[in-house]
């Protein structure tokens, strides 16, 4: 499973690790992903999503069904 948020579409970023001697080596910045279960009342079932902390805030603010619908329109989710 890839490290992509299913609500916001956040992916790992690439950057540099900078040492004390200012030597630069490539590194990856991973999103803060959590595996979380949500109850979807319209379908009367539990949905397991891999969401970032920011995605959790979006679900709390807009609601699960609206967030799932927007994520499907943007192409982050294919199943729902």
Q: What is the dihedral of CA 72, 74, 77, 78, to 10 degrees?
A: 70
- Mean pLDDT of the 8-32 span: 97
Instruction: Output the pLDDT for position 17.
Output: 98
The 10s digit of each residue's pLDDT in 26-76 is: 999 999 999 999 999 999 999 999 999 999 999 999 999 999 999 999 999
Where do the structural domains in the chain lie, given as residue ranges? 13-74
- Indicate whether 80 pLDDT > 80: no
Using alpha carbons, select from 16, 11, 14, 15 the residue that is nearest to residue 32: 11
Homologous superfamily in CATH for domain 13-74: Ribosomal protein L28/L24 (2.30.170.40)
């Amino acid at each position: 499973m890839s490290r992509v948020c299913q609500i916001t579409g956040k992916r790992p970023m690439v950057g540099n690790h900078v040492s004390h001697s200012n030597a630069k080596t490539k590194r990856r910045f991973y999103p803060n992903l959590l595996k979380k279960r949500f109850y979807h009342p319209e379908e009367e079932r539990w949905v397991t999503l891999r969401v970032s902390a920011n995605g959790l805030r979006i679900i709390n603010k807009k609601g699960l069904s609206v967030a799932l619908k927007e994520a499907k329109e943007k192409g982050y989710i294919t199943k729902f």
